[in-house]
Amino acid sequence: MSSACRFVSYIAAAIALALLTGCGITGGTSARKVMLNPSLGTATLNQPVRIGNVVARSDAGVNQAIGAYNWGKFDDADIATLRKTLELSLPSAPSSSTHTVHVVAQHFGLSYTNNRVTCLGIFDWCVTDGAKILASERFYAAYDSGDKFLGTETLGMAKNRVLHAAAERIAERSLAVANTLPRPPAPRLTFDDPETANATMPSHLKAVGSPGLVAAAVQQTMLGEMEADTHLLPEHIPPQTDWQALLTKLPPR
């Protein structure tokens, strides 16, 4: 088989994968109920927590596509996934509940090739009791798929892991704050500081090239450079949310 034919076969396999995995290959995400720390299941939760504002900074999504199509940038649909995952995971709370959790996605960086996906998010959240802010936190969530044949772990799958981990942490800790319980340990894939989160990510990614000089040249022409250093954290990390100021601007939920 010629190099060009191999490249065509490679593209055909990618299309077949897209059909099998749905919108996940282009970055689509989906909500699900996450399991909370068992300590919360055995505690008396007198104060349910309802969900308030779940928003993102205007330029939160940043993509670095390396030898791959530039798909999957974090957007409003992913914020909806985060909100719905919180709704499914938190015990139901009446609208009259005075304890409310608010979330801001400050950054969601994706660096990926045609066979590996890495993502790192920065999230701020707070719990209020009426107008009083009881507690707030910034944390980081990061995931590296490792090398996968033909990208069999899609952009959407990798993004889901980060969004679900973020929802798990927010749900657990907001419930703990509202009910004056000990803070649960950090769930898997979540971190207290950027350095620790970034240390779990590769510093360099290399895409899988098509066999043959002609096919490889066509691939690079279509998709750009085939390897690069990763840039998952923003050069300037956004300041932590001024919740008192923000909540006066956002509509009540």
Tokens 């349910």 appear where? 48
Query: pTM for the complete prediction?
Result: 0.86
Helix and strand counts by DSSP (H, E) for the chain: 7, 8
pLDDT in tens, 150-191: 557 899 999 999 999 999 999 999 999 999 999 999 999 999
CATH superfamily of 3-234: ABC-type transport auxiliary lipoprotein component (3.40.50.10610)
pLDDT in tens, 107-147: 999 999 988 999 999 999 999 999 899 999 999 999 999 98
Length of the chain as a residue count = 253
- Ordered by start, the domain boundaries in the chain are 3-234
Q: Which residues contact 78 (CB under 8 A, 6 or more apart)?
A: 29, 56, 61, 105, 108, 159, 163
**Residue 51: Cβ-neighbour burial (10 angstroms; 0-12, 13-18, 19+):** buried
pLDDT in tens, 205-238: 998 854 444 344 444 444 557 899 999 999 999 9
